[in-house]
Chain A
């Protein structure tokens, strides 16, 4: 019988031999527009991969393809040896894709995502933002979740803001809250999409510090960023994308002398500002 891994295997860590993430020939079209043109990428456990490239090159689409927020048109996504599939939908059958949807929810809980615009829940306090996933996804009791949430908030330096509404938090604090919310579910892969781009310059440092700490702790990370200094420092590998393709990849050191003109001109352009 073929070995078809179930989501439960991920939880039980039975696929420890598999890479954290494997993307095979990922393509994405928006109508006729080709945004991802056959991406192959493997990320090992504990690896920090930084993805850079000009605006519109498909970085966000690739990242959002991993957890199916934007399902790819074709290609395969494997998370720790488990295939991540887009649930089937039907315009007529409300039950279509029910099993796949459940499974995707379970997989998503193991992949944390942090967004450019924070997307913290404005109607919940900082603590409740973190508790929501703990209670509704991880199945903790309210008391356990509260305790756990407070620890997560403390870890990102927001212990004193637990009862605060996101409305009164600074951009940097909101983003750290978003990180705590994701980390609370104990993800084994973190996806960061330009998480400092919407921040005032003086607030960028506190968020990068949090990410640096996370990288040092051995988290597997896929990071889209234009912060080259940070990228050179934490990245194990550097992936450069343009027009839906991976143009070049290598260690940060190798990226000091890129082979491709497009990589060079991109690096020049972001050093310019």
Chain B
């Protein structure tokens, strides 16, 4: 078996450029998911029935959806039927955001549930407004509890982003495919991409540990939540 290392080296600049797209689309999609996830978690605990129903449906629909299914449905199905043709990068980021908002909503909900009831009571007894109760007392404690899970979901999102190759988002997986096909050296190219993903996952995991120890939380070893 001969491993064409030169090919890997010469393609490296292209791979690294594509890695930037991978990181960018993951970061934007995941950040949007964080924001929507918080809103959904609040919605599920709201006393307002419309908010509860809407967030329940949203969360459970997207938790059941697989990224591949959602992305081809949006990009090929919905786009064609409605005539709204968005760039692949936008659809890709949107899909990552939709799916992860559902996962993160569950993470935040668990975090909120884990905050002691006495904390709400003490905050209310002081006369704090509901927003301040949430923002100053509950959210800081819930986010500490949620942090390790959020880190794991971020790793999931990074791995998921490889699927965006099917709609030709010029990220790492797509670029790797392209070079593999044109050079007829798939093995080298996929191994090279695997190494890059491995490094990225470990960077996120290390950053997570750093933030955890900064916040005085027991550092965790993150590699994602489940098979992606």
Contact = CB atoms under 8 A, between A and B. Distances in A.
Given A91-B48, A92-B49, A132 B126 contact: yes
Contacts of A137: 126-128
Interface in B157-195: none
B132 interface: yes
Interface stretch (A36-44, A102-110, A220-228): A102-110
Interface residues of A, number: 35
Interface string A173-191: 0000010011001000000
B50 A133 contact: no
B17 interface: no
A105 B128 contact: yes
A109 B127 contact: yes
B121 A119 contact: yes
A108 B140 contact: no
A14 interface: no
Contact of B48 (A92, A122, A123, A136): A92
A123 B47 CA distance: 27
A113 B125 contact: yes
B220 interface: no
A230 interface: no
Nearest to B139: A123
Contacts of A181: 126
Interface string B119-162: 10111111111101000110011001000000000000000000
B124 A121 contact: no
A201 interface: no
Contact of B144 (A105, A113, A123): A123
A101 B130 contact: yes
A121 B137 contact: yes
A111 B126 CA distance: 8
B116 to A, nearest CB: 7
Interface of B: 47-50, 116, 118-119, 121-130, 132, 136-137, 140-141, 144
28 contacts: A67-B125, A69-B121, A89-B47, A105-B128, A107-B127, A108-B124, A108-B125, A110-B127, A113-B122, A115-B122, A119-B116, A119-B119, A119-B122, A120-B122, A121-B119, A121-B122, A121-B137, A121-B141, A122-B141, A123-B141, A133-B126, A133-B127, A136-B128, A136-B132, A136-B136, A137-B126, A181-B126, A182-B126
Interface of A: 67, 69, 89-94, 101-102, 105-113, 115, 117-123, 132-133, 136-137, 178, 181-182, 185
Given A178-B122, A181-B126, A182-B125, 5 more contacts: A105-B128, A108-B126, A112-B125, A115-B122, A118-B118
Those 4 A-B pairs whose CB atoms lie nearest each other, nearest first:
A109-B127, A119-B122, A119-B118, A108-B127
